[in-house]
Amino acid sequence: MKKIFLFFRLFIFLMLILLIFQPIKKVYNKRNIPSVALLIDNSSSMKNIDIKQFEKVKGTVKSQFINNSKINSYLFTFSDTINELKEQELQSLKAQGSRTDIYNALEKTKTNFLGKNLDAIILFSDGNHNTDTSNMEILNDLYNLKIPVYSVKYELTNVPKNILISKIELPEIVFRNTNASIIAKISVFGFSNKSIPVYLKSDDSIIQTNTLNVTNDGLYEISFNIAPDKAGLINYSIEIPTYQDEKSYSDNIKKFSLLVEPEKIRILYLCGQPSFNYSFLRTTLKNDPNIELVSFVILRNPENIVAVSDSELSLIPFPIDEIFTREIFNFDMLIFDNFNYSRFAINPQYLVNIKNFVYGYGKSFLIISGEIPLSIYQNTPIADILPVNPTSELSTEKFYLHILRPENSILKFSDDNVENMLVLKNLPELDTINISTTKDKTVTLAESEKSKHPIITISEIGKGRVMCITTSSLWRLALGSENPYKYVKLWGQSIKWLTNSISMKQVAISSKKSYNIGDSSVIKIKVKDEYFKPINNAIVNLHVTKPDNQKEIINVPPEIENGEYGTKISLELSGEYKLDAYASYNRKYLGEDKISLSVFNISKESEDNTVNSTFLKNISDKTNGKLLSIDSFNLNELNIKPRITKSDILYEMNIWNKTYIYLLLIILFCVEWYLRRKYGLL
């Protein structure tokens, strides 16, 4: 009996503890039928290969999902947007969407079914996603979906013979003399076990040939490595020979343009002695982000005596042999400033190398006379490339510049000719001239006003360009002016001319040049001040003239902290879009630049002529789904079952606040008390 009483007490005790924890009973909603969202891709690419495959999708949906009591189906169709599809609309559904946005379709489906039951997504698509969201980004975001996606792909059967350059991937930025790769995606049908030549052409000349070894039908990639030796806009095309019985010949060629940015201009600057001329020019070149400067200035000559050990001096050896034999050819420009070659054990061949550097290699040479007259180069190979015949005479006269070629780009300080002339007339006074006479093909830009000695001369020597300055006081253009603008501008333009560079614009607009209709163009505008330093808070306006002559002005915001501004424009019309970018800073006009974009009346969908099985498989793998084929699709084999999720709770019941529980406890207490009393245990 005692055991029974013990059991009673323990039971009551446990009941009391349970009630302290306020137990809740959850009652779940029982679902026997799974809910499935069917996403049918109706973009144009679904009919590109074989329209029958799209019809097969519709047939499968109709036969296996509609009126199927074992499954709750929600029909959607998607291309650039996703829309609900009514059962009666299925038969008339056409593949005509302009884009394929799988990401948007999956995201919207998830949002639509938020708080509702969805057990699987069945995606009927060719996998040719073609919006700005990359395939990789989609796959990375899929872990948020938490719904299995069953991808159903086309089968490529009975596809007509064709070779199609479906896509060309170009690097965002290409620099001159720097390797860049161009990737062509080529769809091949009906040419199994064949080797096909693929040509990369520039202005109708073949510059590279690669061979595509086709084993089976499908999508192939082929890449070309280029290193353009010119800066600017260069036209290219990728071409494949046409073969008999091809479905289309026009898709064997694809034209495109590349804007080749010049790499940094590499300048080697040799100066015979520390001077203000060196100091000013070096600072100017160093401040220019387009220039990579290596300079040597001779701080001490052999006759100079220093009363300390070499370790206390910052002097480094002047690597004559290295510079004039190997390194020189890695530079775009060489500067001799008051540099007396005869002070060093310079092999005569080195001067020949300098001549070849300009004459044969097409590089540039700037020579500035100082205390050492340029006549030291007479009877040397350097004399052949000098624009002047120098004398050993130095005139210490003060002089003003008399500009002979105000129209020359080097002397353009303003776009307005009258204003430019005014600037040129008011240049500060200079001093000291190394007297010289000009050679036949030399262009004299400026001479001394009274004595008529050439001061700034230029000439084209062989493939290269040479400039000669016969005064060492050009720094006066900076220090003798209200601001150093003219000095900086003069050198900027001189280097631009010498190196034949197009890069030194204060405002530079860049973008891909050719598009298909419906694309968006990402426009980048770089803005620099007159000293070529990036400006981050300039006012940048983009004037867009559309093919129908409608105009639009867009204020372009800064993107990152390096003077780069960016915007995106939608290209809804085919034809030519003209873009003019204007920049100003503190009400000061900085410059403008223009480009035009060609928009072809070809939709992005027409580029996709195959099935991207890999992408579809990746989507399924990421979401615990499966990749299936439309030919063998069988809903029953998928074995989709209703998932119980937390949101499936029908109701919750609080046990602790039920009266009968407390009644039961009281009864138990009473029974226990009664029995104890009856058996005389109290």
Partner 1 sequence: MITQIFKDDTTYREHKLHRLKLFLIGLYVILTFNFLLLTCLYSQGGKFIFSQLQYAGGWDTRPTAWDRISEYLLTTTSIKSIPERRIIKPNDEILFWSPFIVIAGSNDILELNDSEIHTLKRYILCGGMIFIDDSSGKKGYGFDKEIREIIKKISPENPIERIPINDAVFKSFYLLKSVSGRIITNRYLEGCKIGERYSIIYSQNDLFGAWEKDNLGNYIYPCNEQQRWEAKKLLLNIILYSLTGTYKSDTIHKSFIQNKLK
Q: Closest by alpha carbon to 27, among 655, 660, 643?
A: 655
Name every residue whose Cβ is closer than 8 Å to that of residue 97 and which is 6 or more positions away in sequence.
Answer: 41, 42, 43, 44, 78, 79, 80, 605
Other Cβ atoms closer than 10 A to 112: 14
Name every residue whose Cβ is closer than 8 Å to that of residue 55 and which is 6 or more positions away in sequence.
Answer: none
Least CB distance from residue 561 to partner 1, whole Å? 18
Q: Which is nearer to partner 1, 117 or 287 (CB)?
A: 287
The owner of tokens 């009877």 is 379
Q: Is 539 helix (H, G, I), strand (E, B) or coil?
A: strand
Q: Which is nearer to partner 1, 258 or 477 (CB)?
A: 477
Q: Closest by alpha carbon to 499, among 231, 304, 308, 306?
A: 231
Q: Which is nearer to partner 1, 330 or 396 (CB)?
A: 396
Least CB distance from residue 340 to partner 1, whole Å? 10
CA atoms within 13 Å, Cβ hemisphere of 461:
30
Name every residue whose Cβ is closer than 8 Å to that of residue 504 and which is 6 or more positions away in sequence.
Answer: 288, 290, 492, 493, 495, 496, 532
Q: Which is nearer to partner 1, 111 or 314 (CB)?
A: 314
Least CB distance from residue 388 to partner 1, whole Å? 18
Other Cβ atoms closer than 10 A to 113: 15
Other Cβ atoms closer than 10 A to 413: 19
Q: Which is nearer to partner 1, 118 or 477 (CB)?
A: 477
Q: Is 295 helix (H, G, I), strand (E, B) or coil?
A: strand
Least CB distance from residue 373 to partner 1, whole Å? 11
At CA 535, angle to CA 555 and CA 530, rounded to 5?
115
What is the arrangement of strands in the sheet containing 507-510, beginning at the earlier edge strand?
507-510, 520-527, 564-570, 558-560
- What is the C-alpha separation between 406 and 17, in angstroms, rounded? 101
Q: Closest by alpha carbon to 583, among 633, 531, 541?
A: 541
Q: Which helix (H) or strand (E) holds 577?
A: strand 575-585
Q: Which is nearer to partner 1, 465 or 486 (CB)?
A: 486
Q: Which is nearer to partner 1, 150 or 487 (CB)?
A: 487
Least CB distance from residue 296 to partner 1, whole Å? 8
Least CB distance from residue 170 to partner 1, whole Å? 33
- What is the C-alpha separation between 627 and 152, in angstroms, rounded? 6
Q: What is the DSSP annotation of 579-635?
A: EEEEEEETTEEEEEEEEEEEEES--GGGG--S--HHHHHHHHHHTT--EEESTT--H
C-alpha dist (Å) from residue 529 to 424, 485, 492, 504: 21, 10, 12, 11
Other Cβ atoms closer than 10 A to 561: 8
Least CB distance from residue 293 to partner 1, whole Å? 8
Least CB distance from residue 479 to partner 1, whole Å? 5
Residue numbers at the binding site for partner 1 (CB under 8 A)? 272-280, 282-283, 286-287, 293-301, 304-306, 308, 310-316, 338, 370-371, 394, 396-398, 428, 431-432, 472-473, 475-476, 478-484, 487
Burial of 239 (0-12, 13-18, 19+ CB in 10 A): middle
Q: What is the DSSP annotation of 199-224?
A: EEEETTEEEEEEEEEE-SSEEEEEEE
CA atoms within 13 Å, Cβ hemisphere of 67:
3
The owner of tokens 């262009």 is 443
Q: Which is nearer to partner 1, 304 or 550 (CB)?
A: 304
Q: Which is nearer to partner 1, 15 or 346 (CB)?
A: 346
Q: Which is nearer to partner 1, 219 or 456 (CB)?
A: 456
Q: Which is nearer to partner 1, 38 or 323 (CB)?
A: 323
Q: Is 185 helix (H, G, I), strand (E, B) or coil?
A: strand
Other Cβ atoms closer than 10 A to 133: 15
Q: Which is nearer to partner 1, 250 or 304 (CB)?
A: 304
Least CB distance from residue 538 to partner 1, whole Å? 18
Least CB distance from residue 503 to partner 1, whole Å? 21
Q: Which is nearer to partner 1, 286 or 658 (CB)?
A: 286
Q: Which is nearer to partner 1, 252 or 473 (CB)?
A: 473
255 close to 280: Cβ distance less than 8 angstroms: no
Q: Which is nearer to partner 1, 294 or 664 (CB)?
A: 294
Q: Is 156 helix (H, G, I), strand (E, B) or coil?
A: coil
Helices (H), 426-555: 476-479, 485-498
Burial of 157 (0-12, 13-18, 19+ CB in 10 A): exposed
Q: Which is nearer to partner 1, 317 or 557 (CB)?
A: 317
The owner of tokens 């969805």 is 118
